[in-house]
Copies of this chain bind each other. A is one copy, B any other.
Amino acid sequence: MVEVARGGRFRAIAQLLSLVEQDHPQLPEVTAALTPHTAGAVVIGLTGPPGAGKSTMTSMLVSAFREEGRRVGVLAIDPSSPFSGGALLGDRIRMTQHSTDKGVFIRSMATRGHLGGLSWATPQAVRVLDACGFDVILIETVGVGQSEIDIAKLADTTVVLLAPGLGDAVQAAKAGVLEIADVFVVNKADRDGADEVARDLKQMISFGRAAPSAPSWRQPVVKAVASRGEGAEDILDALRDHREWIDSHGELEGRQTNRAAGELESIVLSRLRSELDRLSDETMFSTVARKVARGALDPFTAANQLITALGLAGT
C-alpha cells in the first residue's frame, strides 16, 4: 500500500491517511516504511476567523503552486467541531475544482478524540504526504483559538488570513494570532475597510516589535482578493522570504524538531493512556475514581496509587 501510494495513487494515499485518523494498529509499521522517503516538504499553515475566505484562499494558493510545477497536498483540519460535515462539504466543492489535476490532493481530517488531537495526527498526515512526493503541504484550519497556536507549532510558515467587515472576529484574531503569524494576508482587499485592517495590523506588528531582544522576522502584511485570484504572487513571495529567513537563521530546523517533539510526546502519552485503560479494565481505575467522586480520596493521592500500579519508575 505504501508503494502504491508513493506511486501517486490517490486512493492509496487516502487509505494511508485513514490509518492515521483511526490510529490503526498497522500505523507504526506504515510510518516506519514511509519515513525513509520523507524529503522535507514545505509545510504551510493557513488559519483565520470564519468568513476570512480560507477555502477560496487555499484554492488560489494551490493554483499558484501548481503553476510553479509543485505538487500540493492540502489537509483541511477541523479540530473543534464535533461534526466534520462543513469541512467535508467544502472539501468536495474544492475537489471538483482541482479534480482533474493529479498534482493536487485535498483531504479533510477529523482529529477529534485523539489524545493530543491535532499535534498527534497532523505530523503523521504530513509525513504521509511528504513521503508520497508532495512538495508543499498546506494545513488549513477552521476557527480561531488554541488550535491555531497548535498549527503554528506544526507548520514551517503560518499564514493568518483576515478580511474587512468581520468585526469582533478580526479584533480577536488580531489580538490572539499576532504572536503565531509569520505572514498576514488581508483577503477581500477590494472591500471597504481593508486598508484599515492592514494599517491596524502593521501598527500592532511595530508595537509588538518594540525593543526586540533578538533579530526577529518582521511579519509582512499582504493584500489579496482570493475570489478573483489577485495577490497570489505577493503571498508566494512572502512565503519564500519567510522560508529563506528561518532557514538562514537556523529556525527551520528548530521548527521541524519541535514538530517531531510534539508528535513524539503525543505518541508516548497515548501509549501510557492505553496502559491506564488497561487498568480501567482491571476495575482498579474505576474503583479509585468512584472514591474520588465521593470525596473519600483526593485525586492526587489517587493518581499516586495509579502510577504505582502502572509500574512507572522514578516518580
Listed in ascending order, the chain A residues whose CB lies under 8 Å from chain B are 27-28, 31-32, 34-36, 38-40, 79-83, 85-86, 112, 115, 117, 123-124, 143-149, 172, 175-177, 179-180, 253, 256-261, 263-265, 267-269, 271-273, 275-276, 278, 280, 285-286, 288-290, 292-295, 297-303, 306-307, 310-315
Contacts and interface: CB of A to CB of B under 8 A. Distances in A.
Contacts of A85: 175
Contact of A292 (B264, B276, B299): B264
A289 B269 contact: no
Given A80-B80, A175-B83, A295 B259 contact: no
A297 B80 contact: no
Contacts of A261: 280, 285-286, 289
B313 A311 contact: yes
Number of chain copies forming the complex: 2
Contacts of A301: 28, 32
Interface of A is mostly: helix
Contacts of A292: 260, 263-264
B257 A289 contact: yes
B273 A265 contact: yes
